[in-house]
Amino acid sequence: MADQLIYDWNTHDGDPGGRYGFCEVVDETIRDGLQGPIINIPSIEQKKEALCRMVELGINGVALGFPANGEADDSAELARYMADERLGLRPYCLARAVESDVVAIDRIVQATGLPIDVLLFIAASPVRMAVEGWNIDTLRKAVEDVSKFVVGRNLSLIFAVEDATRTRSEDLKTLYTAAIDNGAGRIILTDTVGHITPAGVSSLLKFIVDQVVKPAGRKIGIDWHGHKDRDLAVANSLAAIEGGADRVHATALGIGERVGNTPLESLLMNLYLLGNRKFDLSKLQSYCEYVARICGVEIPANLPIVGRDAFKTGTGIHGAAVTKAMSHGNADLVYAGIPADVLGRHQEIVIGPMSGKTNVLYVLRDMKLLDLVAEPPQGLCETILQQAKIRRRILTSEEIAEIAVGFGLRAKG
């Protein structure tokens, strides 16, 4: 039915390669997300609950921690919990290009029996190499040596160049090829400081696929890890998928260092709208609310997807159209680009300074202050609308009920 009522330019020329439908998602909320300056660090029990909620959502992978950087105890406890509960998530832990970091991860694997991927990372952007006094030959040698060390301990290797979106093409090719030649089965392209645009993502992916992945002669997975400094994280993630990435990273509510990472809720909804049905979005609202609670952050009222006001309208013309659409079962299609019902939510009509009589009648009936077909007492609608203009904001249910009582109306049932 929706296909007949909505002309969708997003799919007018078809899904680019059908890639959205099989893309997987890695949740970095309890690792990368906790680097945000406003974040309260959750307890280990709260992190375990977050893992369970990720499984309910259908998330594919999770970042457990950075054992060599003070996170060994939590990483080990979470790994033990995942093994005991047989949680269906593929975990990885971070390691710099030094053998001791890999050993810290291997200890956890040996102690818990849980397979954990080693995410080996190294920075190679010109600015970082200048600051550190590094050169590409030294970095290449470190990647080769530690990659061999990882594989030699029977650990699965993922390799990432930090700040890849500001690194020279020839250096990216050198380092990613060195890791792949020495056992990496997956690489991560990182937009560490949120620098790149969707056009840049397309260029980067084309280069990596043509110059790194295809010459490898075997299947190499590609992850995309983005930040939202330029507020392009979701758009960049979609561009990465179109370009060849088969896994993307995100955090609930986009929490993370500086202004944060790719927002999980926006990413999953966009994947859903582009045909990906792997994730149970009915669990998304509660997961985001849980993360907000344990991390001590507020969900902005106007945040897309999970914000309090994401599906509210207080404008008279819009309210009238939504009301009519409700009677036809199409409330999610009029003045709404997001299907509220897949989240377990619904379109809401409220009364504010720009509302009309239709808004008032809908709210009165929804609050059971007025029967479905009954007409309101003379002057009630006008009084409510006047109060909204005087107060210059959306009226609360309590304020509406108080006005209605003055006209002899009380909620029924």
* N-to-C CA span, the chain: 35
Decide: 53 and 27 in contact? Cβ < 8 Å: no
Helix, strand, or coil (residue 309): coil
Q: What is the dihedral of CA 173, 174, 175, 178, to 10 degrees?
A: 110
Decide: 260 and 227 in contact? Cβ < 8 Å: yes
Tell me 213's DSSP state: I
Tell me 51's DSSP state: H
| Prediction pTM value | 0.91
**CB-based contacts of 95, cutoff 8 Å, min separation 6:** 66, 67, 68, 101, 102, 104, 105, 118, 119, 120, 121, 146, 150
* Residue in the structure block whose two tokens are 């009589």: 357
Q: Say if domain 11-295 classifies as CATH 1.10.579.10.
A: no
| The token pair that represents 87 in the structure block | 């949680």
| Neighbouring-strand partners of residue 190 | 225
Residue 88's Cβ-count burial label (10 Å; 0-12, 13-18, 19+) is exposed
Distance CA 225, CA 227 (A): 7
Q: Where are the domains of the chain?
A: 11-295, 312-405
Residue ranges in the chain modelled with pLDDT below 70: 1-3, 11-17, 316, 318-336, 373, 413
pLDDT of residue 331: 57
Backbone torsions φ then ψ of 313, nearest 5 degrees: -135, 135
| Closest of 141, 102, 148 to residue 124, by C-alpha | 141
| The token pair that represents 126 in the structure block | 């010109």
Question: What Å distances lie between residue 199 and 152, 232, 236, 380, CA to CA?
Answer: 39, 11, 8, 55
Instruction: Locate all alpha helices (DSSP H) within 316-391, ordered by sequence.
Output: 316-327, 357-366, 380-391
Decide: 292 and 261 in contact? Cβ < 8 Å: no
The dihedral built from the CA positions of residue 334, 336, 337 and 342, taken in this order, carries a sign that is negative
